[in-house]
Amino acid sequence: MRIIVAGGDGFCGWPTALYLSEKGHEVTIVDNLVRRKIDDELHSNSVTPIASLQERVDKWRELTGKEIKVYEGDLNHYDFLSLVFKNERPEAFVHFAEQRSAPYSMIDREHAVYTQQNNVLGNLNVLYAIKEFEPDCHLIKLGTMGEYGQPNIDIEEGYIEIEHKGRKDTLPFPKQPGSFYHLTKVHDTHNIMFACKIWGIRATDLNQGVVYGLNTEETKKDPVLANRLDYDGVFGTALNRFVIQSAIGHDMTVYGSGGQTRAFLNIKDTVRCVEIAAENPADQGEFRVFNQFTESFSVQDLAEKTKQAAAELDIEANITSIENPRIENEDHYYNAVNTNLIDLGLEPHLLTQDVLKEMLNEALEHKDRIIVENVLPKVTWK
Residues serving a catalytic function are 144, 181, 185
Secondary structure class of 22 (helix, strand, coil) = helix
**Amino acid found at 196:** C
10 Å CB burial of residue 343 (0-12, 13-18, 19+) is exposed
- Evaluate whether 118 touches 98 at the Cβ level (below 8 Å): yes
Distance (Å, whole) CA 71 – CA 93: 14
Residue of 127, 110, 93, 112 whose CA lies nearest to 177? 112
Residue of 204, 174, 183 whose CA lies nearest to 286? 204
10 Å CB burial of residue 245 (0-12, 13-18, 19+) is buried
CA distances, 206 to each of 17, 139, 296 (Å):
16, 10, 17
